[in-house]
Amino acid sequence: MNHLYVLAALIPVAFVLGWWASRQIGVRRSGAEVSELSSDYFRGLNYLLNEEQDKAIEVFLKLAEYNRDTVETHLALGNLFRRRGEVDRAIRLHQHLVSRPGLTDAMKTVALLELGEDYMRAGLLDRAEALFSDLVAMDAHAPSALRHLIAIYQHERDWHKAIEHARRLEVMTGEDEAPMIAQFYCELADRSRQHGARAEARDYLRQAFECQPDCVRAFMLTGRLLSEDGQHAEAVTAYEAAINADIAFTPDILPPLLNSYARSQQMERAEGFLRDMLGRYHGVSPVLALTHLYRQRDGERAAVDFLTAQLRLRPSVRGLMALIDATMDKIEGEARENFLILRDLTRKLLEGQAMYRCSRCGFGAKAHHWQCPSCKNWSTIRPIHGVASE
């Protein structure tokens, strides 16, 4: 009888073995499916990296149809559409994603954020604004949504709302947005100044200083307001403070400062300040200003001597041009012709130069902008220092 016990023990053992063997076969088959999917994925990725975006989109579309977890793929696809400028397709895709049932809240808000970016890209700023405001109200991805909102208000030049949202962003992230808010107040102040509301402009400037006590732009605007009001001595103080706050802006500040020195008849103070600047600033602007000052006070000879001595220390095309202009009168004959050619050459050299460059994105400009037109950062555009420019 005991072989019956052996039989009874054998059946469960065989059962387990059969079950295990069947599972192994199943795993191998679904493994083949997974590897097919991931090979599709890598193919799509490869197309993407090779800038063959049409083919990449085809592959990802196919992938999105077969894969159950398509949300990530949809998001990547929507991004791709937007990047390609096919904003209407991106919008349709993200709208579909948002309306899809059974999506987790986290995924839905990501899709909403993307949809808002689509709207911004398509120029539908009012829709984007409504969407981002909703996201902020829901407290979902609020920092990103706030940043987008601030960008929208900057674009619409609605500085009050920009300030309000920048302050909320500050509270939310703990990051210091004060320099940006100070710029918004400066925009407000400049607008008030242009409309003749001088008291209002002064009030905005006071708030700008509260945000950022060493805001160059606020100092410059203060100087401008004061000199327009005829208070040139006070304007001199403001302009000097502007240079002390950020010496890189000297080429922009010096012309109005020199004007205010002249109007308030403080040429002694001007010489002292410019002499002091020579030590800490390596551009040519203060040299040219001092040359002008010496020409008026001590005559041509002293001015040219000073200029040549300084040009040896800091060679610069602008300085050279000033030197050529100064010595032009004394030269006659053939040498004069050569000097004329040289002067034209230096003038051409300076004409093609970008005088300002964004320190973030490298955008080059001939005029100064407080907000970079390319990367939209504030006060990143600065005068270029080099032989040909400053």
Partner 1 sequence: MRPLAIVILVIFVAAGLVLGALNADLVDYDLAFARMQLPKGAALLGAMVIGWLLGGLTAWVGVSMRQRRQRRQLRADQKSPLAP
Binding footprint of partner 1 on the chain (CB under 8 A):
3, 6-7, 10-23, 26, 61, 64-65, 68, 70, 77, 89, 92-93, 95-96, 100, 102
Distance CA 109, CA 135 (A): 7
The site partner of 175 among partner 1, Zn ion, none (C-beta below 5 to 8 Å per kind) is none
The residues facing 382 across adjacent strands are 357
Q: How far is the CB of 370 from Zn ion (least distance, A)?
A: 12
Q: How far is the CB of 84 from Zn ion (least distance, A)?
A: 23
The site partner of 374 among Zn ion, partner 1, none (C-beta below 5 to 8 Å per kind) is Zn ion
Instruction: Pick between residue 103 and residue 197 the one whose CB is nearest to partner 1.
Output: 103
Instruction: Pick between residue 99 and residue 338 the one whose CB is nearest to partner 1.
Output: 99
Q: How far is the CB of 115 from partner 1 (least distance, A)?
A: 13
Instruction: Pick between residue 30 and residue 194 the one whose CB is nearest to partner 1.
Output: 30
The site partner of 13 among partner 1, Zn ion, none (C-beta below 5 to 8 Å per kind) is partner 1
Q: How far is the CB of 19 from partner 1 (least distance, A)?
A: 4
List residues near Zn ion by CB under 5 A.
358, 360-361, 363, 372, 374-375
Instruction: Pick between residue 17 and residue 138 the one whose CB is nearest to partner 1.
Output: 17
- Report CA 312 to chain centroid distance, whole Å: 37
The site partner of 18 among Zn ion, partner 1, none (C-beta below 5 to 8 Å per kind) is partner 1
Distance CA 151, CA 148 (A): 5
Checking phi first, is residue 102 left (phi over 0); if not, alpha (psi -120 to 50) or beta? left
Place of tokens 């579909």: 96
In one letter, which amino acid is 325?
A: D
The site partner of 363 among Zn ion, partner 1, none (C-beta below 5 to 8 Å per kind) is Zn ion
The site partner of 85 among partner 1, Zn ion, none (C-beta below 5 to 8 Å per kind) is none
Sorted by sequence, the CB contacts under 8 Å of residue 251 that are 6+ apart come out as 283, 285, 355, 383, 390
Return the closest-CA partner of residue 141 out of 121, 167, 112, 176: 112
Q: How far is the CB of 61 from partner 1 (least distance, A)?
A: 5
What are the counts of helices (DSSP H) followed by strands (DSSP E) for the chain? 18, 3
Angle, in degrees to the nearest 10, between helices 285-298 and 317-327: 20
Q: How far is the CB of 67 from partner 1 (least distance, A)?
A: 9
Instruction: Pick between residue 227 and residue 379 the one whose CB is nearest to Zn ion.
Output: 379
Return the closest-CA partner of residue 270 out of 280, 284, 282, 255: 255
Instruction: Pick between residue 73 and residue 316 the one whose CB is nearest to partner 1.
Output: 73
Instruction: Pick between residue 287 and residue 381 the one whose CB is nearest to Zn ion.
Output: 381
Q: How far is the CB of 99 from partner 1 (least distance, A)?
A: 9
Return the closest-CA partner of residue 114 out of 166, 64, 78: 78
Return the closest-CA partner of residue 154 out of 130, 188, 200: 188
